[in-house]
Amino acid sequence: EEIARELEAGGFWRGEVWSCRKNGDVFLEWLTVSAVHGSGSAGAGAPTHYVGVFSDITRLKESQEQLDFLAHHDPLTSLPNRLLFQDRLLHAIGRAARESQQLAVMFIDLDRFKNVNDTLGHETGDRLLKEVASALSGRLREGDTLARLGGDEFVVLLEHVNGQYGATQVAQKMVALFEQPFLVSGHELFVTGSIGVALYPQDARDANALMMHADVAMYQAKARGRN
């Protein structure tokens, strides 16, 4: 319908269209359609037919989407990276301000993770990080965001949280998941996590300050004995 309106108004349309080959394969095409007008008294000015020129851009689109994904996600765990997390945090703060809601930023750092890399190798360490990422994701609500900032450091965005009480409930779930060992490369690995939490708007009202407070709180948790 959009193409028909454009052709009727200006005789030209250009854009992306999902199309189908004779064998049933679906592909994305970059299509240009032009109206060809007739001449003579019988059909003066009326389109006699349309000419379409297209190119298959499926692989180009897939490459663009892959590059976009890599730019915003951690390559090891496929979790959002710092860039995407900060973007979501900014939007969440805007929503919370409009709706007078609270949110929490939670930093999670694995305790003595370096020992795993040093004794069992970085490949085992990477597998452990993937297991931890999966376990953490399983303890969160659908609307929450878990990201990996790098190394063994993760961060969580909790929206519509019931202040300190609600954030503490989630943090306790996170701590509890470390009570069971992670089975990695035939090894039972016991690791713990230290967690720091900052609340909006009680602790800070902008994204950078919230991140900083949660980071400082996490290091305080480590200083008090970890776990």
List active site positions: 152
Here the tokens at position 5 are: 């309106």
Cis peptide preceding 201, ω within 30 of 0: yes
Burial label for 79, CB within 10 Å (0-12, 13-18, 19+), is buried
Pairing between β-strand 103-110 and β-strand 26-37 as defined by DSSP bridges: unpaired
How far apart (Å, rounded) are the C-alpha atoms in residues 208 and 216? 12
Coil, strand or helix at 10: helix
